Structure 1
Amino acid sequence: MIVGVGIDVVDIARFVRQVQRTPRLLERLFGDGERGLPPESLAARFAAKEAVAKSLGAPVGLVWRDVVVEREHGHRPEVVVKGSAKEIAERMGVERFHLSLSHDAGIASAMVVAEGR
């Protein structure tokens, strides 16, 4: 059963400018394993975090760093939730997230489907 769907797009250049103006933004949004990625990958991951939030109904109390996009070489990216995001997802009956990421022509995008019981 589909619990929720979320989509988000990010202008990569605007995202980079924002991070340059507010360097601590990277620490607030991303975990240690994410911060070293290229700007287009970070923008896509931020879009994924926004899409996850939307799939959960944009809940109050969601901590951005509690939504992580992991990707092993040769495998598709996956959403991993912990802390606040995991609590909210469990409360809503979400058992897994389906994720699609893209970045091209200066835009990063993500689409998420939250699946539950």
Structure 2
Amino acid sequence: MSQLPGVGIDLLEISRLEVALKRRPGLKLRLFDPGEIEFCERSRRPARQLATRFCAKEATIKALGLRSANMRDIVVCGGGMEPPRILLKGHAARVARDNGVSVSISLTHERGMAAAVAVTTRP
């Protein structure tokens, strides 16, 4: 990883994820941690919350420079009144630790779209 911070961004049409989750019922459990699912399903708009978290995972993969990752190794914590943050596990956590970086995220959604930006920083 270079000395510059890693930056990743992802944008998703919420309905695309919603359709994919309906077609493949097991997909939700492959993409999301049980705590993420619980948080999102308590929301008034679960699909919007899930799509935003999916974007955060994709943006984190890009910011860390990973070719691929187990989506459940990237957990979006917080939300609502609490600022969102990333919890890394497995391979993603090893890459971050080996490069001495942490990941910060920003999430948004508007008019049927969800987006996230992830930035790596060195403490």
Q: Same fold (TM over 0.5)?
A: yes
Alpha-carbon offset, residue 3 of structure 1: 3.0
Alpha-carbon offset, residue 5 of structure 1: 0.3
**Is the counterpart of residue 57 in structure 1 residue 65 in structure 2?**
yes
Q: Corresponding residue for 2:7? A: 5
TM-score (norm: length of structure 1): 0.90
* More helix per residue: 2
CA contact (8 A) 1:70 1:78 kept: yes
Distance (whole Å) between structure 2 residues aligned to residue 26 and residue 114 of structure 1: 26
Between stretches 1-10 and 40-49, larger displacement belongs to 1-10
SS state at 1:58 partner: coil
Distance (whole Å) between structure 1 residues aligned to residue 75 and residue 23 of structure 2: 23
Which consecutive aligned stretches of 4+ in structure 1 deviate over 6 angstroms post-superposition?
A: none
Matches within 5 A, 1:21-36: 21-36=23-38
Task: Report Cα offsets for 1:19-39 as digits up to 9, x if no partner.
Answer: 111111111100111113111
TM-score (norm: length of structure 2): 0.86
Between stretches 96-105 and 72-81, larger displacement belongs to 72-81
- Cα distance change of structure 1 residues 12 and 82 upon mapping to structure 2, 3 Å threshold: same
Alpha-carbon offset, residue 88 of structure 1: 1.4
Distance (whole Å) between structure 1 residues aligned to residue 105 and residue 26 of structure 2: 26
Alpha-carbon offset, residue 74 of structure 1: 2.4
Task: Report Cα offsets for 1:35-84 as digits up to 9, x if no partner.
Answer: 13111000000000000000011334x21101011006522111111112
Q: Corresponding residue for 2:51? A: 43
> Any stretches of 5+ residues in structure 1 without a counterpart?
none
CA contact (8 A) 1:2 1:113 kept: no
> Number of residue pairs matched?
115
CA contact (8 A) 1:2 1:116 kept: no
**Is the counterpart of residue 109 in structure 1 residue 115 in structure 2?**
yes
**Is the counterpart of residue 74 in structure 1 residue 81 in structure 2?**
yes
SS state at 1:23 partner: coil
> Any stretches of 5+ residues in structure 2 without a counterpart?
41-45
